[in-house]
Amino acid sequence: MDRGLDRHRGPRVRPLINGSDTNFSQPFVLTYPSSGYPTDKPRPQLYVTNLTGFQGAGGLPQGTVDSSQLFGADFGVLAP
């Protein structure tokens, strides 16, 4: 099994939460602009907005979080 995949949910992506306030119901999270693409130059500027979903089991967001607020990472050696 690929380390970057969860067998039940696909890629392991999570919202990146900003802890600058005490709003635990809908905290600020990093958001990617809906009109932006990773290949744009200059790169799209990320911004902070409130989380658009609800907490599910284990503290993880349910399937209601907007995809522009979900980020993942790939770890390991980069092969040519």
Number of domains in the chain: 1
75 within domain boundaries: no
23 located within any domain: yes
pLDDT tens, 20-46? 888 777 788 899 998 888 889 998 999
How much is the pTM? 0.62
Q: Is the pLDDT of residue 57 over 80?
A: no
pLDDT value at 1 more than 50: no
Output Rg (C-alpha) for the chain, integer angstroms: 14
Range of the domain at 14: 1-63
Name the 3-class secondary structure at 68.
helix
| Phi–psi pair at 69, nearest 5 degrees | -110, 10
With respect to residue 79, please indicate whether it lies within any of the assigned structural domains.
Answer: no
CB atoms within 10 A of CB 51: 21
Q: Is residue 20 part of a domain?
A: yes
Q: Residue 48 is encoded by which pair of tokens?
A: 């902070």
42 occurs within a structural domain: yes
